[in-house]
């Protein structure tokens, strides 16, 4: 059951990077939500390869087809199946991987776990798997805005690339600012340095990581549940399930450990009829439940494991050997991770909105 | 369904901090595992209040009773129900909280979500809820060691308290070292400074946070699943579900974003018949699946929200007001968080071990 | 996960017939529902042993204690734990069962599955396990009536005992009629013959089965889901999970196979603004979803497996042997099955009401 | 979550009768199981329309495509997506259904539940939905035979059509006997009468129902779980989820209520090292767990709701009206229900086999 996510807005993704295609089935979607292939394509295009000079050149249109669950432009309440065919698979580039495990990839662990793997690419560990997530999240956003929070905004950006840190105010940053540059950061000053660093890395056959930050504005109060399914817990799981993600923090996060309680607490005050906090070190969540303030969290993405230099590794028959990376890849996953982060946030929030409607509606 | 965790080794905790008691039901436990109330009590005693001068003085024996699922000292394979009565509840200390929301606590969000709350204490948001988790994890550890990995070690410690950082080698640190000091750190040099800082904070009516680090040694290969239920994703969720936890990172974590791919990748080599990596920036997980290296992760805990100074807040009828903390509390949650972190790790690993047995056994 | 039921109104029962007690944890209950131990006790008293001369004389008060999730008489939205202690356990009566498998009981299959069993009684296969279900259903009925269908009635009765068939109109039968006789049938003419037959069976050390029928009146339209979680499918599972249940049919059931389509179809007509059917061979469900007509279904219960005559069996060490039943037992499970059937119906309906609220609310 | 089934061998079906197609995603399948599109096609061909003169003439090849999860002829352990396109959809035949509800179909309840429906056919309530189940069950059978019970046989047949009852011995009947006749019964004497009755019904524009019986031979001991997920409970749910199914009984079923305990109990005896029962009124299940005897159960299927005569109904705007059936349909669902019943049995058993491996392996 590793490929399903969510309790009530439940998605099941499927597909390897090299094979018939990839896709998703969404179960539990409310009916009468307007959705079209064109709506979904907008989000898929932000995720797809080949969209700029700093991402992988794999040539995939990632054109989606809705196979079920939508009738005359509206959701039926029945499962929505979405299919994207693989086009530009090049298994020949992976021939060497048949017998050698790429360092810091999933080749070895898949082989050890299952005793078999599709070595013609990354299989389920490929970022192509996230197509299904992004497509499902397009629907989730429509549900959230149509039924629960019409003005809800989910916006992510590249906060840092290695040591280049963007200066971005989560309460103010605009989607247009981020989408106006190919690295997808919210700080115009950081755009060129980040792009230059990524290009340098690519030229060296190397790679680089960084941090993505995400804000959700116009949040409903009351999403998330006590104990295990705290909103931050489900967000953490969602984000750590993304390829290359190594860390998650919400609100003050790790930096908050440097403060005392009297510095860290968020005082309450009334703003007309609404309960507000005058600071937001909680990141919009208290006791696992949203308090209506902006949801703010950050994720660490490691440098891409595919590099063009020779590395020590072992073969599938247990011999020490070497391997030099080949094939198309992203020298930095962050620009394409931004829509994936937004997608996972939308999926978590939509699921919790339905859960809230069930118990407390 | 907020109070259940795990797919196959599934626990359901229940109970408020003030009420009949707290407990857990474990469903799906394999049969014929030896377990006793005394075994569980060992772990509960590490978690309980009043165990040292730097934790809350609430006087609870936290004596557990196994109500079902164990017969003649062995598990039956049926649900194991464990009960701990509340003894030293003092609802009178919470009278003011009936009408005022404590800043950075869950009072407001519970009230907003449910329209009702047990104001006589922290309810489900109290750390007393973790009794059920720790008790269940005692059983989980027996299952792991009895059926899957006889030498498995799960060891956590306080890595830092505010700016005091312990120097601990996850590959070498011993359980006895950590348990020999009341702050539960693995670095003898850090013990006194940490205790002094916590005592100072308590004297000031203030509080402090920090970082807990955890290692799992003698890990089986192959635990964790592709895509959503990656081992790090389930660990992240488990840890972020603990009270006061604000961040999670695995292996190189956030610091890994400062490295290039060629610096960060973990080369493979053969050690006799076993595939090993010569570094462990992956933290023991690749593609969501354990590779047999030590599992290493860290968690940020915020400073305790309960402080003894006056804070701005609002009343339940929507008026600005002030509130001064009362009642017993931990000036620093970290020493008692250590067994909770180990417990959540054990629960995640036991669940994934059973899942692995189901699909690939 | 064999001991949990329901997706949103989720119950987890625990406890063996001989041990610390039995109970249930309810997760996902809406808040602000009024409930008390006295409310629950009413239902438990209808289920308990010793209530009349035709049921088992085991002497259990089955007094319940609510341990959590209720505050000042109302549900908190958090898990509700309910405990009933075992009092009149007599393990000495089961000594012979330690080494011999009782025919048509669960002794052999439990032993074969788990390699261990609590032989001091029926363990989880005992009807005592249903205490948790009945207690949880008390809460479920309050939720249904409080939030979804204020006039909802769930009424079951004994339709037949062996060949004695009661004449009962599901649209008209009253709860009071059924509760006025110890056999719990809805036909006054059938009361004495049924009681006589059961007493005869008991006197002979034998046992007898029969059919329970159940109606739900004032049903909301729209409960149940297409495909796998059809309302009749979830009811069938719920009912077949009761001890001794061997069959389920809804509406026309097996008898409906004797009709043609033109005889069987239920024509629609308008009754003011409401869509009605002029017959109800569908039993209130079409396409898995309730249509607002009365829900009607029937269950077959086999004769109790415990009988007082000598039977051929085998010992746990694999020898042919004989066994004569001992201990207290019901010569006919039907009178006590009636509240269990109502309970399972309430649990299914409450769960589907919350699911409906989540997706279509 | 209405469209997923199973806990560990989990299938999610999708697709309407009129739309892009239908299909299934299987999650949790063990790796290294040999499977091909040709294997699956064998089962789909037994289910497809147009295969004989007594079933619907809708012209669908029902050709399946495996999109993921299989590599070089073996399962990868990752999700298996299977797609079947709709070819011979004729929405024009359904024009009148846009505004009128067909009696005893799901039109009204879908509309009432969701406020929208795909009126161009039966939507999810169409028997086309079962394509995904049958395809998934092909894989399930390979898993069962490959990993758990190499000689396992799952065989269903038509036991009765209206009042024509076949004489079939579940312990002896052969698959070839059943497949040798288009009505799929196991009694050569019953073939012609059944076919004649179905043809008569078709000629009259009427329809007819009946009973399907199923046996599973060479059953492993220990499948099924105590309490809610009893093997018979999960089978009952599986079967009642099939279109037109109105009843389920296992072993002695409803007829068993006519027996006394001393007549009904199944005595144990040793057959070499194996525990056997000398009768099988339990139907192979005791306490919810398989005992190794043949699993035997029966299902009632109502007469097809689509008939060619005029029926009273109502329109979607709430007016009394009439409707005469049109379009292609099965005058009797039973011949095509046989492979569906076998499929659901395979899915339940495969899921429980994996669950057994997880907890008791």
**Residue closest to A104 by CA, chosen among A258, A276, A243:** A243
Per residue in A307-348, pLDDT (tens digit) is 999 999 999 999 999 998 776 788 999 999 999 999 999 999
Per residue in A102-115, pLDDT (tens digit) is 999 999 999 999 99
Could D80 and A14 be called an inter-chain contact, meaning their C-beta atoms sit closer than 8 Å? yes
Looking at the complex, does the CB of residue B30 fall below 8 Å from at least one CB of chain D? yes
Identify the residue among C12, C94, C118, C136 best suited for mutation to test binding to B, counting B beta carbons within 10 A and taking the highest: C12
- pLDDT at residue D103 is higher than 70: yes
Could B264 and A311 be called an inter-chain contact, meaning their C-beta atoms sit closer than 8 Å? no
Chains that touch A (3 or more CB pairs under 8 A): B, C, D
Per residue in A170-202, pLDDT (tens digit) is 999 999 999 999 999 999 999 999 999 999 999
Which has more pLDDT, A330 or B215?
A: B215
Residues of chain A contacting B103 with CB distance shorter than 8 Å = 265-268, 277
Could D360 and B226 be called an inter-chain contact, meaning their C-beta atoms sit closer than 8 Å? no
Q: Are A246 and A311 in contact (CB under 8 A)?
A: no
Residues of chain D contacting A98 with CB distance shorter than 8 Å = none
Residue C312: strand pairing partners: C322
* Strand pairing class (A295-301; B210-217): unpaired
Percent of chain A exceeding pLDDT 90 equals 90
Mean local confidence (pLDDT), D143-151: 97
Q: Coil, strand, or helix at residue B342?
A: helix
Q: Report the distance separating Cα A348 and Cα A350, nearest Å.
A: 6
Q: Report the distance separating Cα B167 and Cα B158, nearest Å.
A: 10
- Across A132-266, the runs of DSSP E, i.e. the strands, are 153-161, 164-165, 210-217, 245-250
Looking at the complex, does the CB of residue B111 fall below 8 Å from at least one CB of chain A? no
Residues of chain D contacting B30 with CB distance shorter than 8 Å = 359-360
End-to-end CA distance of chain D: 29
- pLDDT at residue D19 is higher than 90: no
Looking at the complex, does the CB of residue B28 fall below 8 Å from at least one CB of chain D? yes
Cα distances from D86 to residues D54, D91, D327, in angstroms, run: 22, 12, 16
Residues of chain C contacting A30 with CB distance shorter than 8 Å = 359-360
Mean local confidence (pLDDT), D117-122: 90
Chains that touch B (3 or more CB pairs under 8 A): A, C, D
Give residue B264's pLDDT.
98
3-state secondary structure chain D: CCCEECCCCEEEEECCCCCCEEEEEEECCCCCCECCHHHHHHHHHHHCCCCCCCCCCCCCCCCEEECCCEECCEECCCCEEEEEECCCCCHHHHHHHHCECCCCCCHHHHHHHHCCCCCCCCHHHCHHHHHHHHHHHHHHHHHHHHHHCCCCEEEEEEEEECCEECCCCCCCCCHHHHHCCCCCECCHHHHHHHHHHHHHHHHCCCCECEEEEEEEECCCCCCCCCHHHCHHHHHHHHHHCCCCEEEEEECCHHHHHHCEHHHHCCCEEEECCEEEECCCCCCCEECCEECCCCEEEEEEECCCCCCCCEEEEEECCCCEEEEECCCCCCCCCHHHHHHHHHHHHHHHHHHHHHHHHHHHC
Instruction: Looking at the complex, report in whole angstroms how far the Cα of residue A98 sits from the nearest Cα belonging to chain B.
Output: 16
Cβ-Cβ pairs closer than 8 A, B with C, add up to 146
- pLDDT at residue B92 is higher than 80: no
What residue in C sits closest to D245 (Cα-Cα)? C253
End-to-end CA distance of chain C: 29
Residue B162: φ, ψ to 5°? 45, -110
Give residue A294's pLDDT.
98
CATH number at A4-360: 3.60.150.10
Looking at the complex, does the CB of residue C330 fall below 8 Å from at least one CB of chain D? no
Q: Are A284 and A290 in contact (CB under 8 A)?
A: yes
Give residue C94's pLDDT.
77
pLDDT along chain C (361 residues), means of 10: 92 94 98 98 95 88 96 97 89 82 96 95 92 98 97 98 98 98 98 98 96 98 97 98 98 98 98 97 98 98 95 96 84 97 98 97 90
Per residue in A215-232, pLDDT (tens digit) is 999 999 999 999 999 999
**Residue closest to D161 by CA, chosen among D143, D184, D180, D139:** D184
Of C30, C226, C359, the CB nearest to A359: C30
- pLDDT at residue B120 is higher than 90: no
CB neighbourhood size of A2 (10 A): 25
Radius of gyration of chain D, Cα coordinates, nearest whole angstrom: 21
Give residue C291's pLDDT.
98
Give residue D95's pLDDT.
81
Q: Are A96 and A322 in contact (CB under 8 A)?
A: no
Give residue B95's pLDDT.
80
What residue in C sits closest to B118 (Cα-Cα)? C71
Q: Are D156 and D175 in contact (CB under 8 A)?
A: no
Q: Report the distance separating Cα C136 and Cα C11, nearest Å.
A: 7
Identify the residue among C207, C246, C314, C359 best suited for mutation to test binding to D, counting D beta carbons within 10 A and taking the highest: C246
Q: What is the ipTM of this complex?
A: 0.98
Instruction: Looking at the complex, report in whole angstroms how far the Cα of residue B78 sits from the nearest Cα belonging to chain D.
Output: 8
User: For the whole model, what pTM was predicted?
Assistant: 0.98
Which has more pLDDT, D326 or A139?
A: A139
Q: Of chain A residues 157-216, which have a CB less than 8 A from chain B?
A: 160, 162-163, 201, 206-211
Mean local confidence (pLDDT), D274-292: 98
Which has more pLDDT, D1 or C181?
A: C181
Give residue C2's pLDDT.
80
Looking at the complex, does the CB of residue D77 fall below 8 Å from at least one CB of chain B? yes
Per residue in B319-340, pLDDT (tens digit) is 999 998 776 788 999 999 999 9
Cα distances from D210 to residues B360, D93, D177, D240, in angstroms, run: 41, 28, 19, 14
What residue in C sits closest to D122 (Cα-Cα)? C287
**Residue closest to B262 by CA, chosen among D104, A309, C4, A318:** A309
CB neighbourhood size of D305 (10 A): 27
CB neighbourhood size of C196 (10 A): 14
DSSP C281-308: TTTTEETTEE-SSPEEEEEEEPPPS--S
Could A76 and D114 be called an inter-chain contact, meaning their C-beta atoms sit closer than 8 Å? yes
Give residue C1's pLDDT.
61
The confidence band for D325, taking pLDDT boundaries of 50, 70 and 90, is confident
Give residue B1's pLDDT.
61
Per residue in D202-239, pLDDT (tens digit) is 999 999 999 999 999 999 999 999 999 999 999 999 99
Of D4, D19, D115, the CB nearest to A32: D115
Looking at the complex, does the CB of residue A257 fall below 8 Å from at least one CB of chain B? yes
Per residue in D232-270, pLDDT (tens digit) is 999 999 999 999 999 999 999 999 999 999 999 999 999
Q: Report the distance separating Cα A34 and Cα A11, nearest Å.
A: 18
Give residue A257's pLDDT.
98
Identify the residue among A3, A17, A28, A104 best suited for mutation to test binding to B, counting B beta carbons within 10 A and taking the highest: A104
Could D359 and B78 be called an inter-chain contact, meaning their C-beta atoms sit closer than 8 Å? no
What residue in A sits closest to D85 (Cα-Cα)? A67
Q: Report the distance separating Cα C168 and Cα B296, nearest Å.
A: 67
Mean local confidence (pLDDT), A18-30: 95
Of A4, A74, A117, the CB nearest to D27: A4
Q: Report the distance separating Cα D76 and Cα D100, nearest Å.
A: 47
Per residue in B263-293, pLDDT (tens digit) is 999 999 999 999 999 999 999 999 999 999 9
Could D78 and A28 be called an inter-chain contact, meaning their C-beta atoms sit closer than 8 Å? no
Could A105 and B287 be called an inter-chain contact, meaning their C-beta atoms sit closer than 8 Å? yes
Q: Are D177 and D158 in contact (CB under 8 A)?
A: no
Count Cα atoms within 13 angstroms, Cβ side, for A80.
Answer: 34
Residue A116: φ, ψ to 5°? -160, 150
Cβ-Cβ pairs closer than 8 A, C with D, add up to 366
Q: Report the distance separating Cα B347 and Cα B355, nearest Å.
A: 12
Instruction: Looking at the complex, report in whole angstroms how far the Cα of residue C1 sits from the nearest Cα belonging to chain A.
Output: 15
Residues of chain A contacting B265 with CB distance shorter than 8 Å = 103-104, 305, 307, 311
Which has more pLDDT, B166 or C88?
A: B166
Of B1, B229, B266, the CB nearest to A103: B266
**Residue closest to D337 by CA, chosen among D24, D120, D138, D49:** D49
B264: which DSSP letter? Answer: H
Could D247 and C246 be called an inter-chain contact, meaning their C-beta atoms sit closer than 8 Å? no
Could A286 and B236 be called an inter-chain contact, meaning their C-beta atoms sit closer than 8 Å? no
Q: What share of chain C is helix, strand, coil (3-state, %, to 5)?
A: 35, 25, 40
Give residue D14's pLDDT.
98
C278: which DSSP letter? Answer: S
Mean local confidence (pLDDT), A251-259: 98
Could D359 and B355 be called an inter-chain contact, meaning their C-beta atoms sit closer than 8 Å? no
- pLDDT at residue D1 is higher than 70: no
């Amino acid at each position: 059951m590793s490929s399903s996510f969510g309790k009530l807005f439940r998605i099941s993704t499927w597909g390897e990077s090299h094979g018939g295609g990839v896709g998703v089935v969404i179960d539990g979607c409310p009916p009468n939500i307007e959705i079209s292939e064109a709506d979904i394509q907008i989000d898929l295009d932000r995720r797809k390869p080949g969209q700029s000079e700093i991402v992988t050149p794999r040539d995939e249109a990632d054109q989606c087809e809705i196979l079920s669950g939508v009738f005359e432009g509206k959701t039926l309440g029945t499962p929505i199946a979405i299919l994207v065919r693989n086009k530009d698979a090049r298994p020949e580039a992976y021939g060497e991987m048949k017998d050698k495990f790429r360092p810091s990839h999933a080749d070895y662990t898949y082989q050890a776990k299952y005793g078999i793997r599709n070595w013609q690419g990354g299989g389920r560990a490929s970022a192509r798997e996230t197509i299904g997530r992004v497509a499902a999240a397009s629907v989730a956003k429509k549900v959230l805005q149509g039924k629960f929070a019409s003005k809800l905004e989910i916006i992510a950006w590249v906060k840092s690339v290695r040591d280049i840190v963007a200066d971005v105010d989560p309460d103010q940053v605009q989607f247009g600012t981020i989408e106006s540059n190919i690295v997808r950061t919210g700080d115009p000053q950081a755009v060129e340095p980040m792009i230059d660093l990524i290009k340098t890395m690519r030229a060296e056959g190397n790679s680089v990581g960084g941090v993505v930050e995400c804000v959700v504005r116009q949040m409903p109060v009351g999403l998330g549940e006590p104990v295990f399914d705290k909103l931050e817990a489900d967000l953490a799981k969602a984000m750590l399930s993304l390829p290359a993600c190594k860390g998650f923090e919400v609100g003050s996060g790790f930096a908050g450990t440097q403060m005392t309680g009297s510095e860290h607490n968020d005082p309450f005050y009334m703003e007309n009829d609404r309960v507000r906090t005058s600071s937001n070190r909680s990141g919009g969540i208290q006791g696992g439940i949203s308090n209506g303030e902006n949801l703010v969290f950050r994720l660490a993405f490691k440098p891409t494991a595919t590099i063009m230099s020779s590395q020590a590794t072992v073969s599938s028959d247990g011999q020490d050997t070497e391997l030099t990376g080949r094939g198309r890849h992203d020298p930095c996953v962050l620009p394409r991770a931004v829509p994936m982060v937004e997608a996972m946030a939308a999926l978590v929030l939509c699921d919790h909105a339905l859960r809230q409607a069930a118990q407390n509606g």
